[in-house]
Chain A
Amino acid sequence: MPVPILKQGSVLIASIQRALTDTDVVLLQETLIEQVGRYRSRGIVVDVAAIDVMDSFVARSLRAIAQMTRLRGAEMVLVGIQPEVAFAMVQLGTSLEDVLTALDLEEGLALLESLGGEAERRGGLAG
């Protein structure tokens, strides 16, 4: 079952609703990269609050999405990691240090907002 992706202004929101198979993860990766280009989005929020298992494959795929998004000049924020999932990720060794995270959707959007504002200010000063 594909992950629904919502377009809200310049941000794409992907809310994962249930356990992901590897096929779902690969599809999510492809769809997000395509849509970031099509809508010229500035950011992606991936909400994983409904996920009970974040194994090495899912972690690697999310990191790849974050890196590809950044190469497109946008940012990805991962939100909603459950406490026991966070615990399991640390034990597994997939701590995703290089990926932006926030507690929930609201804070994730706020984080993207602040990053966007910063980029504009930098652009304004330079220009």
Chain B
Amino acid sequence: MAASQAEVRVAIATDDDVVAARQAGRQLAESLGLATTDLTLVATAISEVARNITAYAGTGEIVVRPVDGRGRRGVQVIASDEGPGIEDIDRALQDGFTTGGGLGLGLPGARRLMDEFAINSRPGAGTTVTMTKWGPQ
């Protein structure tokens, strides 16, 4: 049990890595007792931020780790890269805003899929997205 609840780091460079990262997140969330629906929400959110790494930064890393808070356990996802960074974070978080010819749903969608969501980014200094899904009380 304890081993499966350890932090997992996945280097992101190819689209296989995107799949590996979301599977790692799903497994950790499952071992922490999150509901079946939530496993899918976490995996989908990871897929979005991981793809943003391959699309805009080229390479980066996804860390999934267990967190404790207010009597609950949860899964935290940290997606980081040293890519170009995001010029206007508020705009990037709006539905439909894209510079990559996508639907512009990745970031705002991931925010809706998770319980907590924060972006730290500066042009030229890379991007870190930190998001958390909490388990049952």
Neighbour of A52 across the interface among B15, B40, B106, B109, CB < 8 A: B40
User: How many whole Å from A38's CB to the nearest CB in chain B?
Assistant: 27
User: Which positions 54-94 of chain A face chain B at CB distance < 8 Å?
Assistant: 54-57, 59-60, 82-85, 87-88, 91-94
**A2-10, A16-24, A111-119: which lies at the B interface?**
A16-24
Question: Do B112 and A60 have beta carbons less than 8 Å apart?
Answer: no
Total inter-chain residue pairs, C-beta < 8 Å: 73
Q: Interface residues, chain A, CB within 8 Å of chain B?
A: 19, 21-23, 52-57, 59-60, 82-85, 87-88, 91-94
Show 21 residue pairs from A and B whose CB-CB distance is below 8 angstroms, ordered by the A residue: A22-B15, A23-B15, A52-B43, A56-B48, A57-B102, A59-B103, A60-B102, A84-B37, A84-B39, A84-B40, A88-B40, A88-B44, A88-B113, A91-B41, A92-B48, A92-B109, A92-B110, A93-B95, A93-B105, A93-B108, A94-B109
